[in-house]
Amino acid sequence: MRTVRVLVVDDSAVVRQVLTGLLQESPGVEVIGAVADPLLAMDRMKQQWPDVIVLDVEMPRMDGITFLRKLMAERPTPVVVCSTLTEKGARTTVEAMAAGAVAVVAKPRLGLKQFLLDSGGELAATVRAAARARPCRVAAAVPAAKLNADAVLPPTGARAMGQTTERVVAVGTSTGGTQALEAVLTRLPRVSPGLVIVQHMPEHFTAAFAARLDGLCEIEVKEARHHDRVLPGRALIAPGGKHTVLKRSGAQYMVDVIAGPPVNRHRPSVDVLFRSMARAAGGNALGIVMTGMGDDGAAGLLEMRQAGARTLAQDEASCVVYGMPKEAVRRGAVERSLPLESLAAEIVRWGGP
């Protein structure tokens, strides 16, 4: 029997360790690597291609479903998805199978290590069976028409009202943004200008993300709700599945959380937030585009700059993916590019008296 070469991709060190031990003990199975995310997996696969990949879904720099789709479009390989998100009937299970997964194994959120130990034989059998599969190439889905912010908000018309003492910061980020935002927000003192943040993230994830940051930061961090005030010392995270826009009432700012089609294939969209900042805040706003793939935010940041706002980008050296900032710089939307560790100080400096 030919030895089945397995690559484990999971951001949990405990899961990687336990899965590696269990699979190595199984006859005819060899674990050729255990890595924390798909980007590291791609590097490892350049050295030796696995027969089967055991893949998590929730990972920091690229989610497992995105990696699975990329893999099946380019070089079909048997994949066993093993995730806490894949309860029977869950949307993630359907997405994983549609993307080309050979099998899906649900991990419990509690008692994970014991579950893996108890299920080791079954999992190894699933891996050996997967090695015999011959997955077909799954063409990448034809993307829907790429809409711009016009689909949600009309182009900026009249300029925003004049300067007030209330200042507001808009931040947009995607791939690599969860760690980058933590690095910025944990450096902010309690007396900081109010922030509204778009992090490309699926529905139901943003509330937990905001709660985690709230526990780490001096400022308050919460998932935005309709009509939430933008206040000094508060950061509002745009909820997944909706767009978040800034509104102004007198000298006060608040957010509306609204429905609408994906813009730049994202909902929430950075462009939608930035356009609303240009309309409602003008020169009272600071716009920052951070690490991420694609170009969401570039057009909106240019609108902010043209409306009198200050604009910054995270520099290339500190980005996980220098996509969104690069496009914003290319379009002339960025006044200055700064390293990640300097952004918090710049926010405080800009928001000071």
- What does the pLDDT look like over 18-46, one tens digit per residue? 889 888 888 889 999 999 999 999 999 99
Which is the catalytic residue, given 10, 63, 83, 174? Answer: 174
Task: Name the 3-class secondary structure at 131.
Answer: helix
The CATH architecture that domain 162-351 belongs to is 3-Layer(aba) Sandwich (3.40)
174 is catalytic: yes
Contacts of residue 50, defined as CB under 8 A and 6 or more positions apart, other chains included, come to 5, 6, 7, 32, 33, 77
User: Where is 72: in which H helix or E strand?
Assistant: helix 64-74
Locate CATH 3.40.50.2300 in the chain.
Answer: 4-131
Q: How many C-beta atoms lie closer than 10 Å to residue 154's C-beta?
A: 9
Which residue in this structure is represented by tokens 């496009």?
Answer: 327
In angstroms, the CA 119 to CA 103 distance is 15
**Residue 112: predicted pLDDT:** 64
In angstroms, the CA 128 to CA 123 distance is 9
Whether this model's pTM surpasses 0.75: no
In angstroms, the CA 92 to CA 83 distance is 9
Looking at the chain, which runs of residues are DSSP E strands? 4-9, 29-35, 52-55, 79-83, 103-106, 168-173, 194-199, 220-223, 234-237, 243-249, 252-258, 285-289, 310-314, 336-338
In angstroms, the CA 315 to CA 329 distance is 10
**Residue 144: predicted pLDDT:** 56
337 is catalytic: no
Mean pLDDT in the chain? 87
**Residue 1: predicted pLDDT:** 60
**Residue 139: predicted pLDDT:** 60
Report percent pLDDT > 90 for the chain: 55
pLDDT bracket for residue 214 (50, 70, 90): very high
How confident is the model over 108-129, as pLDDT tens digits?
666 666 777 777 778 888 898 8
Is the model's pLDDT at 158 over the cut of 50? no
Which is the catalytic residue, given 37, 63, 200, 276? Answer: 200
pLDDT bracket for residue 320 (50, 70, 90): confident
**Residue 58: predicted pLDDT:** 83
Locate CATH 3.40.50.180 in the chain.
Answer: 162-351
Which is the catalytic residue, given 51, 56, 295, 296? Answer: 296
Residue type, 338: L
Tell me, rounded to whole angstroms, the distance of Cα 171 from its chain centroid.
13
Strands 220-223 and 336-338: unpaired
CATH number for the region 4-131 comes to 3.40.50.2300
**Residue 234: predicted pLDDT:** 97
Q: How many C-beta atoms lie closer than 10 Å to residue 139's C-beta?
A: 9
Is the model's pLDDT at 96 over the cut of 70? yes
204 is catalytic: no
More reliable by pLDDT, 82 or 140:
82
Is the model's pLDDT at 136 over the cut of 80? no
Contact 109, 87 (CB under 8 A): no
Task: Name the 3-class secondary structure at 264.
Answer: coil
